[in-house]
Structure 1
Amino acid sequence: MNQDRLYSLDMMKFVAAIFITNSHFQPLYEGVNTAFATFGVQGNALFFFVAGYLLMMGFGKHKELSFIDWFKGKIRRLWPAAFIWVVAANLIWDAPLTFDKMILGSDYWFLQTIVVYYALFYLLIKVLPAKCRFWGGNKYMLSLFGLAVACSVAYFFWMPVAEGSPFHTSFHFVCHFSIMMMGALVYVCRDRISMGHWVKDVCGMALSFVLYFLILAIGKNKTGWLYDVQVLALVPLHSFVYYGYKVASYKWTDWCLGKRFLGKGISLVAGLTLEIYIVQFMLITNKWNSVFPLNIVIVFAIICLAAYLLKVMTAAFLSLLSKDKFALEI
């Protein structure tokens, strides 16, 4: 596996950006089948996995960084972009400009969730281990992962019965933390992961993908034990991400990202995942539905362009507030 360039993570973020955006494309599928606007749960899971992997890798590089400095860096990456876009949306589309949107990120559950996850992650990885010296590193990580899964299951049975998919309710504030912990665990155990034949991993990923939807189909809008069956969808969701990581770690990913134009396009979208998530809601339109499916490409291209401009504006804004030399990293 290529651990230097991390092409596998770029590919996962690229797919995550497409999946998450497609899940909000209901207006683009009008007259065809709005059920095609899906895969958002899988996209979010892929991104949280990558976040956990990179967080764990970052801890190895910045061992002495305090929580305040570390957390400020994370907020610096997330909040300025959301703040600038809320202001831009008000100026361009006259969208409401409120304290909740600008400071609390009320329009973006993902931002609110990952900020809490960051703090919890630091507590569990950097603080508690000092008090748990008797517990081996890998065993401790595995225990954290198991505990996170158990919390998701407990919350599922505690929360109100959902209309539709429970993964589209407050459950998504909880269930992705175990995915993030799995990303951290995979990083710790990355050298021990067996890379067998790529066909087996592709089949495992595809089977997990289909099984997730089959389990939801059994329990969706049902009552009693049939409804409760949906909690089992956590299993294929996790396995889909794990096999997705393995599939993305084969040489085909290096080949794709090594190509001049294809690789640049994948890297660009992967680097704009956050901005794409932020801007898309104001830009999704059915204006070009008459040229379906070309309308999907058109709207996604507009979203990527807006996301890039937002990243440039955010970098410029941050450079004005710091002494660091202006630099745009994608």
Structure 2
Amino acid sequence: MGNMLTAEQLFLIDLAATFAPYLIVTLSLNLEYGYGGVPNFGKTIAVAGGAFLVGFLPGRLLAQLLGIEATNYIGNNAQIITRVNGILQTDILLALLILILSLILAMAAGAGLGLIAACPAIRLRAEYLAITFLAIGEVILVTGYNYPELVGGTLGVSIPDTFTWAGELRFPAVTVFMLSIAVIVFLYVQKLTNSPLGRLLRAVRDNEDAALALGKDVTRIRMKTIMLSSALAALGGALYAFYAGSVIATAYHRVGWTFWPWVMVILGGAANNTGVVLGTFYPRARFRCPPEVTFLKLKNLS
């Protein structure tokens, strides 16, 4: 790939690829907080949940389907994944099937984790709800770090490369796919927030007592919002894992996947999906740029 793409092109591809999952996670937070008024300081719950599922399931499933011995999956992870990738390199259909199945299951896992996290805390006041989500997020992280059978504990785990069939164009192919998913999520959230449900969320956010007086089940509305946004956040975590090619629990910490999405929502403006896109791009671009790269240089590359 180095002969086909310049360093500048590789940089832009990497920037776009890491921008996409963050945009999905930030849009999910904007849906929760910007429109629903739910202060979720535990976005890492769903993000890590989606990534952990990708680290746990696809490799084991493919090994089982392909007849590869995987009794000690974590201990022999490198050898197993090497054999799996060798087969996926010539079987595009199987690779894409596993990719789509993993993303769907990651979203389901994210929604389930959102439900589990919200059940004991949904009736709490905003500040206590935020603290509860933050604490549960730490529990998820510690579990992944200290239970090796999940995602390899302190060493992490390699996952199947579902784009290995693209050869030297692997990274551009992954980036196009991730950006396409991010665009679909943006359009979905935009349509959702402009629908009657979006207006209902804003009504609950602005005046909960009035919504209750009109017979709206505020608790149920918030629960559904948390589950939906958690499913989207898990999708972002799963995409990031597939791009990285491995999963380690410490990569899904609260600073990267809770506090930074909050900064991005605040920069872009709560309840403003278009603003969130810009609010997500600026920090990611500044973070990914090496010190010698300026935005003026980036502009000259185009």
Which has the higher relative contact order, 1 or 2, with Cα contacts under 8 A spaced 6 or more apart? 2
In the superposition, the TM-score normalised over structure 1's length comes to 0.29
In the superposition, the TM-score normalised over structure 2's length comes to 0.31
